[in-house]
């Protein structure tokens, strides 16, 4: 880890996977309700999911490339980061957490924050100084189990997990960790 003082600052960023912005499922569901072609059944299913606190707290991918990405605040904790969301409303400041039973990536205002390390090609624990050169590919790893995040699809929704979603046990079906495009938005004082 760099000892550069500028690396010890909080920062905000957006993440993308395969061109799609990373969002809170609540954002995705609200956007879905605005679709003029949504059927009554889809509308009701979406409203039920939106009313469910757990369902709306998943970190997922937007349905469209031009949807607004979720703003994430990264706060350094040694050589890892606590990640909070910046979003007007009840979830503002909620922490990214790994659900212990399912290993799903969610946001919570009540659970203790998970810490994540950031890696990129050639750098196991990247710091802000190594990320601010422009958009770059990164992987995020959970510090609690020392495993990277993986992408999975459940009920047509993309989710992120801190374990390989391969349930067969056969190594031929092992997944690769998800690769995010990281776009730095702003540097913040640590007390922000």
Distance in angstroms (rounded) separating the CA atoms of residues 70 and 22: 6
What's the predicted TM-score (pTM) here?
0.91
Supply 105's token pair: 């990536």
Long-range contacts of 89-97 (CB under 8 A, 24+ apart): 91/24, 91/26, 91/57, 94/57, 96/59, 96/72
* Cα 92 from Cα 156, distance rounded (Å): 26
Alpha helices in 12-110 (DSSP H): 25-33, 40-51
Name the residue with tokens 């919570």. 108
The pLDDT of residue 62 is 97
What are the tens digits of pLDDT across the range 31-49? 999 999 999 999 999 999 9
Would the pLDDT of 112 be above 70? yes
What would the two tokens of residue 29 be? 């569901």
Tokens 């920062």 -> residue: 11
Q: How many residues does the chain have?
A: 192
Number of helices (H), then strands (E), in the chain:
3, 13
Provide the β-strand partners of residue 91.
none
> How many of the other CB atoms lie within 10 Å of CB of 184?
17
Fold of 5-188: Trefoil (Acidic Fibroblast Growth Factor, subunit A) (2.80.10)
Per-residue confidence (pLDDT) for residue 7, from 0 to 100: 64
Supply the pLDDT for residue 2: 45
Share of residues in the chain with pLDDT > 70 (%): 95
Eight-class DSSP state of 156: T
């Amino acid at each position: 880890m760099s000892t550069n003082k500028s690396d010890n600052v909080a920062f905000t960023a957006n993440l993308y996977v395969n061109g799609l912005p990373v969002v809170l499922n609540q954002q995705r569901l609200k956007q879905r309700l605005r679709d003029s072609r949504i059927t009554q059944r889809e509308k009701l299913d979406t409203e039920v999911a939106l009313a469910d606190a757990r369902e709306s707290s998943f970190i997922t991918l937007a349905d469209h490339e031009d949807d607004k990405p979720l703003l994430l605040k990264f706060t350094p904790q040694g050589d890892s980061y606590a990640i909070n969301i910046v979003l007007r409303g009840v979830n503002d400041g909620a922490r990214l957490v790994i659900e212990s039973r399912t290993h799903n990536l969610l946001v919570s205002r009540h659970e203790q924050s998970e810490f994540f390390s950031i890696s990129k090609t050639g750098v196991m624990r990247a710091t802000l100084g190594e990320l601010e050169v422009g958009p770059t590919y990164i992987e995020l790893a959970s510090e609690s189990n020392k495993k990277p995040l993986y992408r999975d699809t459940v009920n047509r929704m993309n989710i992120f997990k801190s374990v390989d979603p391969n349930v067969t046990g056969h190594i031929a079906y092992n997944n690769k960790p998800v690769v995010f495009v990281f776009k730095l938005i702003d540097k913040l004082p640590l007390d922000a």
